[in-house]
Amino acid sequence: MSKKTFHQLVQSIRFDDATKRLETSAIAPVRETFQSFVTNCKGAYSPGFYVTIDEMLESFRGRCRFRQYIVNKPAKYGIKIYALVDSRTFFTSNLEMYAGKQPEGPFQVKNDAASVVMPLIEPSKTGRNVTTDNYFTSVLLANTLMENHRLTLIGTVRKNKPQIPRELLEVKGGPVMSTMFAYGKKPNNCLLVSYVPKPNKNVLLLSTLHNDDKIDERTGEACKPEVITDYNFTKGGVDVVDKMKAEYSVTRFSNRWPFTIFCSLLNISTINSQIIFRENTNTVLTRRHYILELSKQLAMPHLCRRSKIHTLPYQLSQRIRNITGKRAVPNLNLPGEAKVRCEFCPLRKYRFTQRHCSNCQSPICKEHTAVSTLTCCQCLGNDENV
């Protein structure tokens, strides 16, 4: 399509009919598309043992009543989306959009950490581990996941939680590279760890996956417990997806937040589809080459339809032919009955012919006929390559 047509489609695209909209929630303009995409992600792939829950921030500075400001994100301002990502393959299994306070109705949800985690873990079957940051992690959430869903949890903990013993917080003057463990009661066996990486500074972690004070020998003099090494190994799932989205992004500048969400879904879909392609075929492609091949395959039906148009300009039909490998439909007129325009000559030459290629039956003039054969230059080139 032309550049003008593309910009017109981008400006006009909408994701629901505003005149028939019955929902009054903030994300009603994009809910149907968003939920359809999430449903497909849930059914297309089963996440592994380690999954990560964290937040994405889609850059947006236009008018949106649930726009967020997060200081530690590169974009600072944008739309917040909670994501469940496989920590090993980086497949995004579930998404939940933050829309602030919703009006009363079927789409009204709570925004506390526990209420966000429960819908996100739906694709995760029992026997898996969930890694979270200090915004989500709490003793109550860990116990709920273990009792009701048989899921373990690893995450950092904020120091203002009431369940933390005072002894784990008092690290002033304590030895560096030291670790203190606190064990919970059965049957959940929550393990609290206080590790001192620097003088007068400690890191608190909660785990229901570990139940001992084992130190990872691979950390050497740092003497880090296995809880910390496992957390560091699995915490970056969502951050890696954000990095991959930023490297090759289809996002375009827009003042309409539904279009920003749609571009984010396109970026995530390319990552997810490449993971499924790699797992099913054992073929490893760079992301750039995969996106190029994916775009060609998505446009192939349209290109094949256009290749059947005889009145296309020569340069355009030649480019379509190089991508699809297909020629235009041969002219039904038999040789000698009528003159037709040469398929390879530009329109400005206004050249007609009675010859046809013996291979593809395309009308050809003397200039584009191979010597000693009645084949066109294109078929001759293909034969030579073979």
pLDDT of residue 235: 92
Q: Which residues, including other chains, have CB under 8 Å from residue 38's CB and lie 6 or more apart?
A: 94, 95
pLDDT of residue 188: 65
pLDDT of residue 343: 76
Q: What is the pLDDT of residues 339-379, one digit of tens each?
A: 777 877 877 777 888 888 887 777 888 888 876 677 887 77
pLDDT of residue 125: 73
361 alpha carbon, distance to own chain's centre: 45
pLDDT of residue 228: 93
Q: Residues 2-8: what's their mean pLDDT?
A: 87
> What one-character DSSP code corresponds to residue 221?
G
Please, which residues bridge with residue 78 across strands? 59, 68
227/346: higher pLDDT = 227
- 87, 234 contact by CB (below 8 A): yes
pLDDT of residue 35: 93
**Residue extents of the structural domains in the chain:** 26-124+241-283, 134-234, 285-329, 330-386
Sign of CA dihedral 42, 48, 53, 56: negative
Q: Which of 93, 92, 66, 63 is nearest to 79 (CA)?
A: 66
6/326: higher pLDDT = 6
Q: Residues 7-32: what's their mean pLDDT?
A: 86
Where do runs of H (alpha helix) occur along the chain? 3-12, 31-44, 113-120, 139-149, 166-169, 226-234, 237-247, 257-281, 287-307, 314-324, 377-385
Q: What is the pLDDT of residues 114-166, one digit of tens each?
A: 888 998 998 777 789 999 999 999 988 998 999 888 999 999 999 888 888 88
Share of the chain above pLDDT 90, in %: 41
Sign of CA dihedral 67, 69, 73, 77: positive
Share of the chain above pLDDT 70, in %: 93
185/41: higher pLDDT = 41
Q: What is the pLDDT of residues 46-79, one digit of tens each?
A: 999 999 999 999 999 999 989 999 888 888 999 9
Other C-beta atoms within 10 Å of 295: how many? 12
Q: What is the pLDDT of residues 234-258, one digit of tens each?
A: 998 999 999 999 999 998 888 999 9
pLDDT at 333 exceeding the cut of 50: no
What is the chain's mean pLDDT, rounded? 85
- 251, 267 contact by CB (below 8 A): yes
Q: What is the pLDDT of residues 159-196, one digit of tens each?
A: 888 888 888 888 887 788 888 998 887 766 789 999 99
What is the radius of gyration, based on Cα positions, of the chain?
Answer: 30
pLDDT at 338 exceeding the cut of 80: no
* Predicted TM-score (pTM) of this structure: 0.81
pLDDT at 327 exceeding the cut of 70: no
Q: What is the pLDDT of residues 272-296, one digit of tens each?
A: 999 999 999 999 999 999 999 999 9
Query: For residue 384, what pLDDT band results from cuts at 50, 70 and 90?
Result: very low
Cα-based distances in Å from 3 to 8, 42, 97? 9, 35, 32
- 176, 186 contact by CB (below 8 A): no
